[in-house]
Structure 1
Amino acid sequence: MKWLAYVLILTGIVTMMYPKMKSVYSSYQEKQLMREWENHIDDKAKTSFTKLETVFNEQEQQEPRLPERNSLLGTISIPKLDVQLPVLEGASQQNLKHAAGRLEGTTPIGTKGNTAIAAHRSFTYGKQFNRLNELVKNDEIIIETKDGSYSYTVNQVFTVMPDDISVLSTKPGEALLTLITCEPMKNPTKRLIVQAVLEQ
């Protein structure tokens, strides 16, 4: 009869704990869904980021064509580095030869989400993002478009592996700018990332 007593006690404990366990599980599922939402990255943005591997490492055998004029989105200025570059739609080899390029699939400049802009750092392609590693927290980045001027404040500088697309993720309500270039400047094996927050 002892076993019956144990079964009844165990049943009582499970019955008492069930609401708490259900609540914990529900909370876990909620957090998982929120994490999925926060880490959702547009497929086009993933493809654009992945293509940077080729763009940053490709040695062109011929002079790339000039970018299309209607792809001009605006300019990016980094006062600390005395840098001002045109920003084109698309981070292709053709565009990055002459300018910085917004990764297709990332959010439009000045809007909530994550706007990713890439540029070369190699001496072959001029200065562009050569000195991006000198940026630190609270430095300013300004983007001018036909819709207005947007000021971003740097909040972190770090490196990632070329396949780490987590740099394109964002949180709901957040307006981020992610600058991407190769690291190191010669024979790059990583990506140098600068992330900045839009000033309201």
Structure 2
Amino acid sequence: MKWIAYLLILTGIITMCYPKLINYYYTNKENHLLQSWDHPPTKQAVSSYKKLGPVLTETKNETKPVRKDPLPNSMLGTLEIKRIHLRLPIVEGASLSNLKVAAGHVSGTSPIGKEGNAAIAAHRSYTYGKQFNRLTEVKTGDLITIETKKEKLIYRMIAKKIVKPADLSVLHSSKNENIITLITCHPFKHPTHRYIVKAKLIEERLLTSKGSR
């Protein structure tokens, strides 16, 4: 009769553990689905983002000349935020030389205007212009406009936050998502973090001619 007792004990253990096992199973399924939906950043994007550290945190006493200015034909477009009276060029690559004269598209992130998350970095310091100096004044709901040679892209700000430089979550994107992530240093003096603004594409207009706006 011992086997009956053992069977009853085993049945009791299974009965107690069953809810946890089911929960564990469905949690794994849920995480698997989320992973298939989320787009982690590419290796190139991660590498480019990590290189932003010394680029964004140059001291205001830096006086080294620009080694190589970006060429006019390397421009991807312009970025405009009316609330802070900002209009600046966007070039490919958030390199030291590029960010001294423009905003830089972080290589490896989604192309601007395409599905995914396009990251754009610019300085916020006394050193090289006023690019993102007033980015903290932008409010949720404000419009951010990017104009390329072919289209005018209108984004609406949806979120802002302060993150540590090693936080790669700002590069993540999801399917059917079209957003831009603006990145600069924080605070204004002696920066230790990154200030992030996210905006979602709400309108796309094709430019048929230079006069079409």
- The TM-score, its normalising length taken from structure 1, stands at 0.89
Deviation of residue 125 (structure 1)? 1.1
Q: Is the 8 A contact 1:64 1:97 kept in 2?
A: no
> Is 1:106 matched up with 2:109?
yes
Deviation of residue 25 (structure 1)? 3.8
The 5 A counterparts of 1:112-151 are: 112-151=115-154
Instruction: Identify the residue that residue 152 of structure 1 maps to in structure 2.
Output: 155
- Aligned-pair Cα RMSD in Å: 2.2
Instruction: Provide runs of 4+ in structure 1 moved above 4 Å.
Output: 13-23
Structure 1, 30-39 or 122-131: larger mean CA deviation: 30-39
Instruction: Identify the residue that residue 55 of structure 2 maps to in structure 1.
Output: 55
**What amino acid maps onto 1:93 in structure 2?**
L
Instruction: Identify the residue that residue 74 of structure 1 maps to in structure 2.
Output: 77
Number of residue pairs matched by the alignment: 199
Q: Is the 8 A contact 2:39 2:175 kept in 1?
A: no
The 5 A counterparts of 1:160-175 are: 160-175=163-178
**What amino acid maps onto 1:28 in structure 2?**
T
What SS does the aligned partner of 2:29 have? helix
Deviation of residue 31 (structure 1)? 2.5
Q: Which runs of 5 or more structure 2 residues have no equivalent in the other structure?
A: 204-213
Instruction: Identify the residue that residue 95 of structure 1 maps to in structure 2.
Output: 98
Distance, in Å, in 2 between the alignment partners of 1:79 and 1:119 is 17
Deviations 1:62-117 (A, max 9, x none): 33321123321000000111100100000001111110000000001111110000
Distance, in Å, in 2 between the alignment partners of 1:191 and 1:34 is 30
Deviations 1:153-174 (A, max 9, x none): 1111110011111100012211
| Identity of matched residues, % | 41
**What amino acid maps onto 2:178 in structure 1?**
A
- The TM-score, its normalising length taken from structure 2, stands at 0.84
Deviation of residue 11 (structure 1)? 3.7
Instruction: Identify the residue that residue 28 of structure 1 maps to in structure 2.
Output: 27
**What amino acid maps onto 1:47 in structure 2?**
S
**What amino acid maps onto 2:83 in structure 1?**
K
Distance, in Å, in 1 between the alignment partners of 2:176 and 2:25 is 24
Instruction: Identify the residue that residue 64 of structure 1 maps to in structure 2.
Output: 67
Deviation of residue 17 (structure 1)? 7.8
Q: Which runs of 5 or more structure 1 residues have no equivalent in the other structure?
A: none
Bigger proportion of residues as helix: 1
Deviations 1:34-63 (A, max 9, x none): 444425111111011100001112345333
